[in-house]
Structure 1
Amino acid sequence: MFRTGIPSSPAAAGLALLLLATGCTATGPTDNSTSAPAQVQGEADGGSSASPSSGGSGSSGSSGSGSQDDMSIPDIVDAVQPSVVTIFTEEGLGSGVIYTEDGLVLTNEHVIHGNQDVEVAFADGQRVSGTVEASDAVSDLALVRADRTDLPAATFQSGLPRIGELAVVIGSPLGFENTATSGIISGLHREIPGSASSSQSLVDLIQTDAAISPGNSGGAVVNGRGEIIGISEAYIPPTQGAVALGFAIPAPTATEVAEELREDGTAEHAFMGLAPGAITPQIAEQLNLRDTTGVVVLSVSRGGPADEAGIRPGDIITKIGDDELSTPEDLLAALRQRDPGENVSVEARRGSDTRTVDVALTDRPAAQG
């Protein structure tokens, strides 16, 4: 898959190879290069509803598929667009959402990857310098400090949207700043097939049919009340037979990571200490597997949680807690829902034997991304 910035690198494995990146490094209206082939990412979004939040994470919205308070799409765009920015790097451009009044902007990590100094363009036409304050590759989120204050911070919804709810995307696709597209929320808890081999971020996503294109990455998906419900992350291009398949990081995930990054520059992620893999026909033959359900353990970190629990390479993991696993992305999504320090039961097969072990999850070591 590819980053959604305005892409520039090769693809990963499986369906991931089919994804185009939409956000991170656009170099102009006609530039369609990608910045990171293994992740598809998003769009740009705008700000708050009628009264922007001053704290970014001050999410006042509740999950729901609309109410009498819903605005028209033009009113949504008018309300949110001032909170959407375009982020320029040496490699290209992406989008971002104003997180706090004092200049913090939330965007994708792949938008700013490899850069410390950027330029931030606002809806009113003003451009200022910006500095990358913190980033987290696992969630593909980053905070940029723009050299400007008294900004209209966006309001983030505290819960997940409902399938069928209005979705408005605002960003800078292919360099066309302040572009708005609309659709609905098409699905929740989505994973991009084949992405686990190259990325940790393309799991537990919101799916929308609102158009997302390169340059949109780091922007937002907005509901009918002008609240941010997601940060644009990826899309599958029509050349692969897809029709309006876009993906976004849910607002609760985005704000949780953003608050951790604000606190000390890092974000915590549950770590199991193993590399998951899909059970291909070749692996099934090599391991003499009759039952091909589950996820194969390709490697185990020495001294890590899985190692301590007795999990070994070649084992087949079928469940984490109550979550049944069919793909490596399922395993990453299950871990995304858990915290470091949590104990989880893991069901694994080894040969003809099936057993359940307790794994004490830890925080992901810095060296592990």
Structure 2
Amino acid sequence: MTATAAPGISTVITKILGGFAAAVVVLTAGCTDEASPATSSSVAADAAPPGGSVVEVVSRTEPSVVTIRAGEGLGSGVVYRADGVIVTNAHVVGSVKQVQVAFADGTQVAGQVIGADEITDLAVVRVQRTGLPPVPIRLELPKPGETALAIGSPLGFENTVTQGIISGVGRQIPGSTTGGRPLVDLIQTDAAISPGNSGGALIDGQGRLVGLNEAYIPPSAGAVSLGFAIPSSTVVDVTDQLLSTGSVAHPYLGVVLTTLTADIAQPLGMKVTSGALVRQVQPGSPADAADLRAGDVIVKFDDKQIATVGDIYAALRETAPGKSVALRLHRDGSGTQVQVTLGTLSR
């Protein structure tokens, strides 16, 4: 699924990879079934570590954040399990299978990329080292206004810490600004992040991972401290799937969409001016089996109102593959509803 331009969003979104800017490429509907944490990771939604000053929190967390060098690129990563499992962004490792991982104690070891998922932009690296300190993980979303600390290696400055707050949750960036699929369900923060922070930790005031730093809008676009992170629940879900099967199952609808606006709707005589307009239905897809048609406007996904293509991706991310969902449509000037059983797209 792809999206066309949406007004009011800067056309410059920067992927935070290795000291140079590029368009963010992909993020789409990922799996968000309730994660079942691996026993050797530090996922503990209820058992919060002690708080303390920012200095104390950072001191506890720094050993869990690493620097990753992949060819000419440089990014960050987070220790996920004590037995050498590290999670980072897929765009940090790119197409390479071997990386160098630098730890807070100054040691560097070789790392093997054992799985990556371009849809959620997450990758798993394994190093031959045990006894590592996994970062405590908070599964529930943080609330706007909470303390946010970003730790990573911006421009190669290892273990750099910046402080801010959680500015918002459930953020969406249209596909027209990313050069691919829209970014959805992101955490927004004003903690400064820069090239090289990608894959690093966004932690709360108690030192728990709430997100993996993903992207920012640069000052050249008129932005001031607009950064985004992948929620930790998505990180856990995708990482555990990559570790167990080597791939990630995503819900699949099988349509090409664009956001419906008044400028599009009025010349076509449509009675609705917002929603996800179906431009194309892929033959043999779940959408095809449910008789979705080009020209349909999706305005509701089960109980979720749909105003943009990003809303569809957000709704898919919260839905398991194989589930049957009700789509409320506007078709030929009247409302109708179809039932769609979502397929599975494995990457």
2:49 maps to 1:55: no
User: Aligned pair 1:251/2:245, yes or no?
Assistant: no
The residue correspondences of 1:335-350 to structure 2 (distance < 5 A) are 335-350=316-331
Find out whether 1:20 has 2:14 as its counterpart: yes
Asked if structure 2 preserves the Cα contact closer than 8 Å seen for 1:196 and 1:329, the reply is no
Q: 1:210 aligns with which of 174, 177, 191?
A: 191
Task: Tell me what 1:137 maps to.
Answer: 118
The counterpart of 1:300, out of the listed 281, 285, 289, is: 281
Q: Is the 8 A contact 2:249 2:346 kept in 1?
A: no
Cα–Cα, structure 1 residues 225 and 346, in superposed 2: closer, same or farther, change >3 Å?
same
CA distance in structure 2 between the aligned counterparts of 1:101 and 1:54, rounded to whole angstroms: 10
| Alpha-carbon spacing, 1:109–1:16, altered in 2? closer, same or farther (3 Å) | farther
Structure 2 residue identity aligned to 1:300: V
Q: In the alignment, is residue 320 of structure 1 matched against residue 307 of structure 2?
A: no
Q: For 2:50 and 2:199, how far apart are their aligned partners in 1?
A: 27
Distance 1:354 1:197 in 2: 32
- Listed as ranges, the matches of 1:230-245 within 5 Å are 230-245=211-226
Indicate how the Cα distance of structure 1 residues 160 and 263 shifts in structure 2: closer, same or farther if over 3 A, else same.
same
Between the aligned partners of 1:95 and 1:69, the Cα distance in structure 2 is 25
- 3-state DSSP of counterpart to 1:333: helix
* Residues 232 and 247, structure 1, Cα contact 8 Å, conserved in 2: yes
For residues 260-308 of structure 1, what are the alpha-carbon distances to aligned partners after superposition, in whole Å with 9 as ceiling and x for unaligned?
A: 1110111111111112212256643664434221011122121111111
Say if 1:197 and 1:181 are closer, same or farther in 2 by CA, change over 3 A. Answer: closer
Checking the alignment, whether the CA contact within 8 Å between 1:137 and 1:201 is kept in structure 2 is no
The corresponding residue for 1:38 is: 25
Can you list the C-alpha shifts for 1:113-132, whole angstroms capped at 9, x where unaligned? 11111111111111111111
CA distance, structure 2, for counterparts of residue 170 and residue 198 of structure 1? 27
Could you say if the C-alpha distance between residues 302 and 250 of structure 1 is closer, same or farther in structure 2, counting changes exceeding 3 Å? Answer: same
Q: 1:73, 1:154 → 2: CA distance?
A: 16
Query: C-alpha offsets along residues 157-210 of structure 1, whole Å, 9 cap, x if unaligned?
Result: 121112211111100111111100011111111111345874447210111111
1:333 aligns with 2:327: no
Equivalent runs, 1:1-369 vs 2, <5 Å: 15=9, 17-22=11-16, 24=17, 26=18, 31-34=19-22, 36-38=23-25, 55-56=40-41, 58-62=42-46, 69-194=50-175, 198-200=179-181, 202-279=183-260, 283-284=264-265, 287-366=268-347
1:71 is displaced (CA, Å) by: 1.9
| Letter in structure 2 aligned against 1:246 | G
Q: Deviations over 1:66-101 (max 9, x none)?
A: x99422111111100001011101131111001111
Partners of 2:89 and 2:123 in 1: CA distance: 5
Q: Residue 270 of structure 1: SS of its match in structure 2?
A: strand
TM-score using structure 1 length: 0.84
CA RMSD of aligned residues (A): 2.3
Q: State the partner residue of 2:35.
A: none
Q: TM-score, normalised by structure 2?
A: 0.89
Q: Tell me how far apart the structure 1 counterparts of residues 176 and 139 of structure 2 sit (CA, whole Å).
A: 27
- C-alpha separation in 2, matches of 1:166 and 1:118: 32
Aligned partners of 1:70 and 1:195: how far apart in 2?
41
Alpha-carbon distance between aligned partners in 1 of 2:204 and 2:278, rounded to the nearest angstrom = 40
- Residues 33 and 286 (structure 1 numbering): CA distance in 2 closer, same or farther, change over 3 Å? same
Distance 1:246 1:39 in 2: 16
Unaligned runs of 5+ in 1: 1-11, 41-52
| Cα separation, 2, equivalents of 1:201 and 1:88 | 27
Please give the alpha-carbon distance, in whole angstroms, between the structure 2 residues aligned to 1:330 and 1:110: 24
Q: Taking structure 1 as reference, are residues 196 and 342 closer, same or farther at Cα in structure 2, changes over 3 Å only? A: farther
How big is the shift at 1:343? 0.9
Q: Is the 8 A contact 1:21 1:39 kept in 2?
A: no
SS of the aligned residue for 2:161 comes to strand
Paired residues of 1:84 and 1:171 also in contact (CA < 8 A): yes
Distance change >3 Å, CA 139–CA 333, structure 1 → 2? same
Once residues 293 and 136 of structure 1 are traced to their aligned partners in structure 2, the CA distance between those partners, rounded to angstroms, is 31
Gap runs ≥5 in structure 2: 28-37
> In the aligned structure 2, how far is the partner of 1:300 from the partner of 1:334?
19
8 Å CA contact retained: 1:16, 1:193: no
Alpha-carbon distance in 2 for matches of 1:303, 1:320: 21
Cα displacement (A) at 1:156: 0.6
Residue 25 of structure 2 aligns with an amino acid whose one-letter code is: A
How many residues of Structure 1 are paired with residues of Structure 2 in the alignment? 332
